[in-house]
């Protein structure tokens, strides 16, 4: 019984400590929304320079994965097998309809 309580306590404590995912959005144009997250970059070739995950979502649902980093007041996004682009950080909002 003590072991069961210990396991339950450990599970509850780690889930309480886990950081919730957060997202910021930028409506780049009428067809694309760029989303930043606090999720660690999953692309091994980029994660050292660009530690966090970004994504572009087209109006038709197509998505392009990327990784990003902050440089001063800017966000630099490295698209998967593509270009690097820079945005001012203040264009991203928690609610994409704020723009």
Q: What is the pLDDT of residues 3-38, one digit of tens each?
A: 333 334 444 444 445 679 999 999 999 999 999 999
pLDDT, position 74: 96
> pTM of this prediction?
0.76
Q: What's the full length of the chain, in residues?
A: 99
Domain that holds residue 45: 20-98
Q: How many domains does the chain have?
A: 1
Please state, as a whole number, how many other Cβ atoms lie within 10 Å of the Cβ of residue 69.
18
Helix (H, G, I), strand (E, B) or coil at 25: strand
Q: Are 52 and 38 in contact (CB under 8 A)?
A: yes
Is position 82 within any domain? yes
Rounded Cα–Cα distance for residues 12 and 8 (Å): 6
In a domain, 12, yes or no: no
pLDDT in tens, 51-64: 999 999 999 999 99
- Using CA atoms, how far residue 82 sits from 22, 32, 56, in Å, is 25, 16, 13
């Amino acid at each position: 019984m003590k072991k069961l309580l210990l396991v339950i306590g450990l599970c509850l404590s780690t889930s309480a400590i886990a950081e919730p995912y957060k997202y910021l959005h930028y409506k780049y144009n009428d067809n694309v929304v760029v989303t930043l997250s606090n999720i660690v970059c999953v692309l091994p070739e980029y994660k050292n320079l660009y530690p966090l995950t970004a994504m572009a979502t087209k109006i038709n649902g197509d998505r392009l994965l990327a990784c990003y980093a902050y440089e001063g007041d800017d966000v630099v996004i490295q698209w998967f097998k593509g270009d690097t682009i820079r945005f001012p950080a203040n264009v991203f909002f928690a609610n994409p309809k704020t723009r």
